[in-house]
Amino acid sequence: MRKTVSKRPGEGKTENTMLAALVRQIKILTKTIEDLRAAGKGAEVESGPPKSLAEAIDEYESYLAAVKGLSPKTIAAYVYDLGRFRSFMEESGGPAPTVQQIRPETISGFLEKLHRRGCGAITTTRALSSIRGFLAYGVRIGHLAVSPARGFANPKRPYNLPVYLTEDELDRLLSIPDMGTWLGRRDAAMLAAFAFGGLRLQELINLGVDDVDFVNRTMLINGKGRKQRPIPLNQGLSDALQKYLEVRPGGKTGSLFISYLLKTLSPRGVEKALAKHARKAGIAAIKGHPHALRHSFGTGLHRRGVDIVEIRSLMGHGSVATTQIYVSVNAEELRDAVGKLDAGVDGGARGKGLDQ
């Protein structure tokens, strides 16, 4: 005879409630496992309602400016790449594409098209980087649960040494601006800021008068992603800035470098001024670009034995791998120097020298 076990009042109801809760937890866990498996197989897990690709790109552009603090030039490059990607998706002639329609094969098809059009590794890598960043943003705000760009490897980029000025070229360039005019002193100070401070073009434009501290001999740089770094003022840069500020006219802007209209100097204005002085100095136009002067700063530091980590800090690089190019420059110079041992020495003399 089976023994009957009596239950307390309400005990059966409690067990049913616990069982129902357990079932719900199992369903949630099962759904999570399925999502993870789908992600592992490379299929996107869509999240949220369909989002117009055009609208999402506009929102991403605002995000890059307001949150990431990127320069207008950098943002324009990202938006340009994403615009090309959007045009590629629109070529099918169907409805306006959405973010959720992006698949790994969509990205690979776009990159293949760039390759067919003759785009090099640098262009293709930048396009892929722009798409990656955009889709990562889509995951972050809920348009996608998984980025379809994961797993894509960057194309191998060609190895190019940076363009920089020799010490003789730099001396000639610095001697060109007319120190009898305020614009000449401005240009001399800009050249010194690039060559002795290692500034990027946008960093120079962002400089304010208050960012220069002659007492502590430092200058505060507002770099990429709103990252700030102080750099020391050497004598050449300090002198050039002081001579400029002695005659700098007042204006409606606190920007350090201003145009003849007394407004903040534009990137194009800086490039035109430097190109003019490069021509007068008999220097190749590419060496008169702000970035060539910045490279001259990095190369000069490494040539004088400054540690690569310190150079990275002074130049505001995000990674030592970027700064490593200046090690490569000096290694190339050493190879050239050794190669000159062969110049003017014939085989017999070389052999004789070795025998002795």
Residue 67 is part of a domain; what is its CATH number?
1.10.150.130
The predicted model scores a pTM of 0.56
Active site (annotated) includes residue 326:
yes
In a domain, 160, yes or no: no
In a domain, 187, yes or no: yes
Indicate if 135 and 190 belong to the same structural domain. Answer: no
Among residues 294, 295, 302, 312, which one is catalytic?
A: 294
Indicate if 335 and 231 belong to the same structural domain. Answer: yes
Indicate if 127 and 174 belong to the same structural domain. Answer: no
Tokens of 192: 């010194």
Please count the residues of the chain: 356
Indicate if 176 and 312 belong to the same structural domain. Answer: yes
In a domain, 2, yes or no: no
Q: Which residues sit opposite 208 in a β-bridge? A: 255
In whole angstroms, what is the distance from residue 138 CA to residue 338 CA? 53
In a domain, 288, yes or no: yes
Three-state DSSP at 41 gives: coil
Indicate if 102 and 250 belong to the same structural domain. Answer: no
Q: What is the pLDDT of residues 143-195, one digit of tens each?
A: 998 999 987 876 665 556 678 788 899 999 999 999 999 999 999 999 999 99
Indicate if 330 and 181 belong to the same structural domain. Answer: yes
Active site (annotated) includes residue 150:
no
Give alpha helix (H) positions in 51-94.
53-66, 72-90
Indicate if 86 and 177 belong to the same structural domain. Answer: no
Indicate if 211 and 291 belong to the same structural domain. Answer: yes
Residue-level pLDDT at 181: 97
Among residues 200, 243, 277, 302, which one is catalytic?
A: 200
Split into its structural domains, the chain has a count of 2
Among residues 248, 289, 302, 317, which one is catalytic?
A: 317
In a domain, 246, yes or no: yes
In whole angstroms, what is the distance from residue 167 CA to residue 278 CA? 14
In a domain, 320, yes or no: yes
Among residues 150, 224, 229, 276, which one is catalytic?
A: 224
Indicate if 87 and 201 belong to the same structural domain. Answer: no
Q: Which residues of the chain have pLDDT under 70?
A: 1-48, 154-161, 321, 325-356
Three-state DSSP at 144 gives: strand
State the DSSP code for 240. H
Indicate if 111 and 188 belong to the same structural domain. Answer: no
In whole angstroms, what is the distance from residue 350 CA to residue 328 CA? 29
Indicate if 174 and 113 belong to the same structural domain. Answer: no
CA distances from 71 to 132, 146, 267 (A): 19, 28, 11
Q: What is the dihedral of CA 191, 197, 201, 202, to 10 degrees?
A: -140
Give the CATH number for residue 211: 1.10.443.10
Among residues 60, 137, 164, 326, which one is catalytic?
A: 326
In a domain, 153, yes or no: no
Indicate if 223 and 321 belong to the same structural domain. Answer: yes
Residue-level pLDDT at 62: 93
Three-state DSSP at 91 gives: coil
Among residues 86, 115, 126, 291, which one is catalytic?
A: 291
Q: Give the H/E segment covering residue 258.
A: none
Contacts 24+ apart (CB under 8 A), 78-86: 78/130, 78/133, 78/134, 81/126, 81/127, 81/130, 81/131, 82/57, 82/130, 82/131, 82/134, 83/57, 84/110, 84/127, 85/110, 85/127, 85/130, 85/131, 86/53, 86/54, 86/57
Q: Of 130, 264, 273, which Cα lies nearest the Cα of 206? A: 264
Active site (annotated) includes residue 302:
no
In a domain, 173, yes or no: yes
Residue-level pLDDT at 92: 73
Active site (annotated) includes residue 73:
no
Active site (annotated) includes residue 294:
yes
175 is in which domain, residue-wise?
A: 167-339
